[in-house]
Structure 1
Amino acid sequence: MTVASRIDEVFDLDALLEADELAWRKRARAFTRERILPVIDDDWEHAYFRAEVVPALGEAGFLGMMIEGYGCAGAGPVSYGLVAHELEAGDSGWRTLVSVQGSLVMGAIARYGSDDQKEDLLPGMAAGEILGCFALTEPQGGSDPGSMLTIARRDGDEWVLEGRKRWIGLASVADVALVWARVVGEDESAEPVEAGGRAVRGFLVPTETEGFEATPIAGKLSMRASVQCDVVLDHVRVPDAAMLPDAIGMAAPFTCLNDARYGIVWGAMGAARACLDAAIERSVSREVFGGPIGAKQLTQAKLADMLVEFEKGMLLALHLGRLKARGALTPAQVSVGKLNAVREALGIVHTARTILGGDGITAAYPVMRHAANLESVRTYEGTDEMHQLVLGRALTGLSAF
């Protein structure tokens, strides 16, 4: 009996899934086994982003897979969640790429873009031929994107973008950046162009545009097989047609972020499952004090506790997926999922490390790599504290932001 079948025997998630959902999971599991796992430890060690995998993700249908048309799969939320789960069981960096490309950039274009923007970009992005990045976060802002300093000023039939962004995934390898900026008048102190305030708008900026500079952030001890960047926008000029016509205000990027957070709920549990698998396998193969450590009461208690949290996390992810399919998923519910999934995944990973002993800190097992990656996942797209405040506001009606 394999490790996976032991987990499935106790926790029969398959009974709750539809045939097409199981098919997507099978495809993603095979992709991870064949394209990610054989090279991920070396890529992570050498901080190497394996760009040649991106078209294969497109060929598999994983990019923008919940979008209808334009070469996208039009799959359901649970199918997407299962793909995110399997990819992150390989490495968080690859689930992050699918999330940035599909949920953030393609999702924004599909929801807020013009017909020309959709036709020009979505088919190529779905195929993995065009790579995008989502330039929202700023150095001084962090969890407060409402304090955005990047500006867009109209100059004739063009827009001029000025500002800085930080922790922008894929920016140095992307073909197009979706840049979020506040619209101002003729100068920064002028009255805003948009009625009702300095409206935030999204602009599709080819990364080869003069004045756009993306620099990979060095010295990362997490997410080492993926790329995150500092971005400088120095008098970047784009035509009026670069603006997403239907994205006005912070609600637009926040809607995209909620789609990405939904994928994290499933993905973090994938990292947890990979570590639980490793702990179970090691518990039956490693012998000390006259027998396998899996026969010891303390080890079995740890495994049981990890499985319980994994099961609860997966059931919550499935519940959120069914809500999303009905169009009933709320931002507060997404915050429940993101907060719980990453927090409990880290708990599972840390407990798995204790079962693996000294070998658990080596690349022979994926545990330390997942632990380091999950520290990034815990921070991006809403820290624990921010999601706690979202839930506090939902419960009390009072904002503590």
Structure 2
Amino acid sequence: MISKINIKLTLAFLFFTSIIVRGQQNKYHGNPDTSFQTARNLAFNQQRKQAQDTLLNILSKYPNYHEINTFLATTYSWDSDYKKARKLFASILEKDSSSKDTWIAAIKNELWADLPYAALDMTNNALKLFPNDSELLYLKASAQENTNDPLEALATIETVLDKNPEDQKAKDFKMSLDKLLRKNSIGINAAVDLYSSVFDPMQYYSLKYSRQTKYGSITPKLNINRRFGENGAQFEVDLYPKIRKGLYAYVNVGIANSFLFPDLKYGAELYQSLPKSFEISLGFRTLKYSSTTNIFTGSLGWYTGNSYWSFRPYFTPGDTGTSKSGTLTYRKYRSDADNYLGISVGMGFSPEINQFQFNPNDAAIVNLESQKLNVGYYFTTTKKQNAWGAQFGVAHQQIIFDQGNFFWIYSLALSWELKFK
């Protein structure tokens, strides 16, 4: 009996001894500066969990190592754990508010967390300690822009440029703010279709004015076409109302008194942002001639880096069945949304894009076969105030009144837009 008790006591002693030894082994015993550098290398090589474990191990012995605490909080920000980072930044600044780097990292955490008002409050506090500091003023301007106050952001960034006129980062930011404040624009589009047979060239012109508002954009347009030896005009309005963050709509209404256009056209579509930089939409278009044509459409878009992919199908019910068509679009952006190379390929015929009617009594033609390719290049000049575009397209399309035979269509389009405050 006594022997069994002794064995149990011995095992218990060994168990608790192993815990103590393990705890002693886990206690930090290295050079903190060398270990900090190792942790930084791990963090910058996408091994943040290992980096955080190393940083916490150093802090177990050096809890007041300021730079390590700041870097640890920054890694939490990189992992989108903004609440955890905020708590640690607050603790650091409460103990020592003299480090500008800590203020900058803490402000960026609030901006990344989409809390611009909190970021703005922090920059104002930091600027009391570091008056007229360019980095802090830049962050303040970023916060002001994100609180929908671009005028104040512009005033702040001009303070930076007054101090250092060659600050390229501030110059680029000022240019983007100038562009943002240009809420008005006028534009002209001109296009021509050249046919390999049957038809004479067809001409298309459009004059538009656009206004950005806090509720979304509104764009009235005047379209003028010359086709089949006739001239016609159409007035239409495009609206892009904002509903909530990540959700907006497209609404279109157009009227005309020429058989080259529908007497009435209207449509609507909802766009919803999705995770992983995807966007989806669903909507319809209606064209009213002597008869009514309904078109159902939608899109799936994906932003990846500076590239954008989109697929849009069209479904048009009719007496002979449902016509189907689709377009795949790719864009490679450069500096912003007004500078890009675009390529699109499509199959099928959609009356929203191409509408052929010879007199007011003709029905909409929707059952034609067609293949098309378009390439466009768009760029800005003069401090991005002028936007230009050129597009070339080629299509292989079935002849309307001789189905089974095809012709080629070569298209050229030019556009210009002037943006102003």
TM-score in terms of structure 1 length: 0.21
Higher-Rg structure is 2
Q: Which has the higher strand share?
A: 2
Q: Which has the higher helix share?
A: 1
TM-score in terms of structure 2 length: 0.20
- Structure ranking higher on relative contact order (CA contacts 8 Å, 6+ apart): 1
